[in-house]
Amino acid sequence: MTPVSRSAGVYALIVVLLLAAPPVISFTGQAFYLDLLTRALILAIAVASLNLIVGCGGMISLGHAAYIGIGAYSVGIPAYYEVYNGFIHLGLALACSAAFALLTGAVCLRTRGLYFILITLAFSQMLYFTLVSIDEYGADDGLLIHRRSEFGGALDLEHPAALYYAVLAALLLFLFAMHRLIHARFGRVIFGSKHNDSRMQALGFDTYKYRLACYVISGAMCGVAGFFLGNFTHFISPEMMDWTRSAELIFMLVIGGAGALFAPVTGTAAFLLLEEFLSGWTLHWHLMFGLLLIALVMFAGRGGLHGALMRLDHRPGGPGKR
């Protein structure tokens, strides 16, 4: 057994379990768990998009929930005008989040480190307050979405299992695409720029352009998560893009192990499951939750859950850990 295969085996098992979940859950009659899983997978898409800029590119954004909001409003606002065409919703989600990423990224990426974090935060808060102030779309109360996006006869998102599989398919597609991208020329430039930008420039790379492209890809991907979240909750509100939501995404990524391809899945699942069970157990769960998160980050170390899995493979800090 090669060292990589043990952690790869764990991840493969997770995928199999995810694929098998809906029939198993419907058999046991615990529909609630399918909801929880769907939510986790939607957030995993968002965290995966964050992983692309944070884990691969070293661009720590504290405004990524803005793209969830953009994606969700791309469903909610057309639905408000009784436009339920899913292709329009999804197209809007992709186009608007990519456009927002391009405009804000063009400014943010002039800076680095703390300044970058703060500017991404500022832009997302601007969007948040803009939507809070638009009474037509419900202001802070948000809007109800009466029907989910319609994709013709082939895919009926009103069916919980159909929505679940659509989300899972999107997540796996994104993860595969990211895996390709990271190892392609583009990804190598992004990775190089994360670790040594001045060297990359001295090699003749206009790293700003590459980083901006990466930022736009990440934003568009996160917009898709928003598209699913709006559909899933039947509801949109500015609260979806509150900065604490962005912070939660970072937390999920850190728990999973920033930079590792599969970290968004394990990190999000761990975060939501902890939240769910602790809140069912005690009223003072926030305190417990905080302490557990601290413990998890400290004991799992820098690599999060992925790091712990890699240690299972007896190769700490090996080349597979990115």
Q: Which is nearer to another protein, 152 or 185 (CB)?
A: 185
From candidates 106, 203, 294, 312, binder to another protein by CB under 8 A: 203
The verdict on 202 binding another protein (CB under 8 A) reads yes
The one-letter amino acid at 300? A
| Parallel, antiparallel or unpaired: strands 235-236 and 143-144 | antiparallel
Please, what is the minimum distance in Å from the beta carbon of residue 45 to another protein?
A: 18
Please, what is the minimum distance in Å from the beta carbon of residue 186 to another protein?
A: 5
The verdict on 180 binding another protein (CB under 8 A) reads yes
- Provide φ and ψ at 235, rounded to 5°: -160, 145
The answer to whether 59 touches 109, Cβ cutoff 8 Å, is yes
Please, what is the minimum distance in Å from the beta carbon of residue 322 to another protein?
A: 8
As a whole number of angstroms, the distance between CA 268 and CA 271 comes to: 5
As a whole number of angstroms, the distance between CA 135 and CA 204 comes to: 49
The one-letter amino acid at 162? A
Residue 73 token pair? 């409003």
As a whole number of angstroms, the distance between CA 215 and CA 211 comes to: 6
Q: Which is nearer to another protein, 133 or 201 (CB)?
A: 201
From candidates 213, 274, 288, 308, binder to another protein by CB under 8 A: 213
The answer to whether 95 touches 152, Cβ cutoff 8 Å, is no
From candidates 29, 152, 204, 280, binder to another protein by CB under 8 A: 204
From candidates 7, 49, 207, 266, binder to another protein by CB under 8 A: 207
Binding marks (x or -) toward another protein, 48..67, rule CB under 8 A? --------------------
The verdict on 206 binding another protein (CB under 8 A) reads yes
Please, what is the minimum distance in Å from the beta carbon of residue 195 to another protein?
A: 5
The verdict on 199 binding another protein (CB under 8 A) reads yes
The answer to whether 148 touches 235, Cβ cutoff 8 Å, is no
**Number of residues in contact with another protein, rule: CB under 8 A?**
27
CA-CA-CA-CA dihedral for 233, 244, 92, 161, to nearest 10? -30
As a whole number of angstroms, the distance between CA 189 and CA 185 comes to: 6
From candidates 189, 222, 224, 240, binder to another protein by CB under 8 A: 189
Task: List contacts with another protein (CB under 8 A).
Answer: 180-181, 183-189, 191-192, 195-196, 198-207, 210, 213, 319, 322
